Each structure stands twice: as structure tokens, then as C-alpha cells.
Amino acid sequence: MERTAAKHWFIAGTVQGVGFRYFVQRKATALGLSGWVRNLDDGRVEVYATGSAAQLSDLAAALHAGPRMAEVRNVEEREEAVEKLSGFRMR
């Protein structure tokens, strides 16, 4: 079994009010990831996810693209400690 890793992303651009959190939740759930997504007061979207390196890489690619109405200008990515979570939720 592949080692579980965790990543934390901050996505900037036109990413609130365009279905970005729903997009992330659907993608992460389809990939079998655990974690959460939430809007930040400064207009960014924050994402935390745990899974295999391949799963996290697939999610990262989706975050750079975003849903159709979004305009992603910057994605900041950090390695994180793995938290025990079940499912992927919107906060």
C-alpha cells in the first residue's frame, strides 16, 4: 500500500462564487481523498487533503484548472502532517 501524504493548498483568483468548493469536493471524493475545502475571508479558497502522492497530484492539477467559471491566478502548495480524516467535506 502506498504511503499516505498530505497537502495544503491556497488558491487565489476568481475562486469564490463560481462553484469552486463543490468542484473540489466532487474531484477529491472521486479520487478517494480525505480532507476539506473552505472559503477564506481574503477571497482565496483553502484545501487540505490526504491520500497517495498520485491522488494528490491529480487533485493539484484540478486545482490549477478549476471549474469552468473560475479564474485561477495562483496556487500555493505546502506539504503537511497527515491528519486522520474520513471523507471530504466543505467547511
- Reported as a single tens digit per residue, the pLDDT across 27-73 is 999 999 999 999 999 999 999 999 999 999 999 999 999 999 999 99
pLDDT for 1-28, tens place per residue?
568 999 999 999 999 999 999 999 999 9
Q: Catalytic pick from 3, 21, 68, 89? A: 21
Predicted TM-score (pTM) of the model is 0.96
74 is known as an active-site residue: no
Fold annotation for 14-90: Alpha-Beta Plaits (3.30.70)
pLDDT at position 1 is 53
- For residue 44, which phi and psi values (nearest 5 degrees)? -85, 170
The structural domains of the chain, with segments of one domain joined by +, span: 14-90
Catalytic one among 3, 26, 38, 39?
A: 39
Which residues on neighbouring strands pair with residue 35, listed in sequence order?
Answer: 49, 88
